[in-house]
Structures are given as C-alpha cells and as structure tokens.
Amino acid sequence: MSEHDHDHGHDHPHAPITNGDEPAAAPRVRALEELLVEKGVIAREDVRARIDWLVSRSPGDGARLVARAWVDPAFKARLLEDARAAALELGLDPGPSPVVVGVENTADVHHMVVCTLCSCYPRALLGPPPDWYKSLPYRSRAVSDPRGVLSEFGVELDDDVEVRVLDSTADIRYLVIPRRPDGSDGMTEEELASLVTRDSMIGVAEPAAPAPVG
C-alpha cells in the first residue's frame, strides 16, 4: 500500500488517462496461453469458462455492498474489517482474491485505487476493469500526481483533504466506499445502489446524484 498527497502545480502535457491502448503485455499473454494449451497444462475450454465468468461480472455486486454500508453502520464496520466476509454475508461471490479490503471516503480522506504493476482489481465485485485503469498513464500518474488525475475525472478536492493512493496487488484488492450523496435520505437500499458507479468504487468519481424530487 502506498499513500501520496501531491499538488498538481505544473502545466506540462500528459498522455491522456483514457487512451484505450492495449496493454503491452497482452500479446505475451496470448502467446503464453497458446503454449500452455499446446503443452496440455490447461484446456482451451477452461480458459473460455474463466473468461465467461469474468465478463459476466458487473459493478452491481459492489454497489450492493456500498448501499448496505450506507444504511447499516454495523455492516459497514464488517465491510471495512473484511470485505470478502461481508460479500459472502450478502450471498455475493468475492472471487479468488485472498484479501479484499474495504476503505471509506470521508470529508477528510479520499482513497483512490491503482495497480502500478498490471491491472489487479476486484473483478468479482466490480466486473472487468476499464481500459484506462490498465493504461500506463493512469498507473504512473495515479501515484505521482493523484490530484491531477482526480481533476481529469472531474473530482475536485479541498486542499485539506488527504489523498491516499492504494496500490492493488495479486494478494490484496481494494473496494472504495464513496461518500453517500446529499439528498439521498429516505431512498431504499436498491435505489441507493443505483447511485453507486464503478468509478466511484475505484475512487476516481463521486456517486451519481439522486434525481430531483418533483
């Protein structure tokens, strides 16, 4: 885990976070898959089944966890203590990650998640990671210039808010509990879950605002 708090006080150009380029490792992964299949280490059907499982996942399960945490302080405490166990409590599949850590954004602290080495990510709870999460610009600048990255995503924080950058690994994945939106009092848990976006659970966005009443 790494924690950084930097100001974005320079104006030199950056590569865009959302460039959508294929990761450099992708061709190597495909070549490795072909070799493993050829040697009989894995079956192509197993690879396809795993891919089908991955693409079937969505941010909806993570949103359910966040919504329950917003309405149930005791559950939020359990989610912050052990997100895997909290997911199982709701009948959700937390995936194969040995440790899933829940972190809470507050008025004083804002968390954002990155994987500086590749694209480690709680896929079971959030679905496949977005292309920008896997891109080199995001993986490098989230650490060196987190406030600048957040600003590009439309998140402007006061100077006294501490920014904590969490480096996801093969052993530890993170789920951000964003701040509950103003004006959401009285909403049902299901309605609250609809406000929780994938990007807000990565920490680069705020949840959606409730629809105006009337």
Task: Report the catalytic residues.
Answer: 115, 118-120
Report whether 162 contacts 111 (CB < 8 A). Answer: no
Give the type of residue at 134: K
Which residues are paired to 110 by β-bridges?
Answer: 163
φ and ψ at 118, to 5 degrees? Answer: -155, -105
Hey, what are 21's tokens? 């380029």
Whole-number Å distance between alpha carbons of 59 and 57: 7
Strands 162-167 and 172-177: unpaired
Report whether 17 contacts 149 (CB < 8 A). Answer: yes
Report whether 148 contacts 9 (CB < 8 A). Answer: no
Hey, what are 57's tokens? 């996942």
What letter does residue 206 receive in the DSSP assignment? Answer: P
CA 24-131-142 angle, to 5 degrees, is 85
What letter does residue 75 receive in the DSSP assignment? Answer: H
Which residues are paired to 177 by β-bridges?
Answer: 104
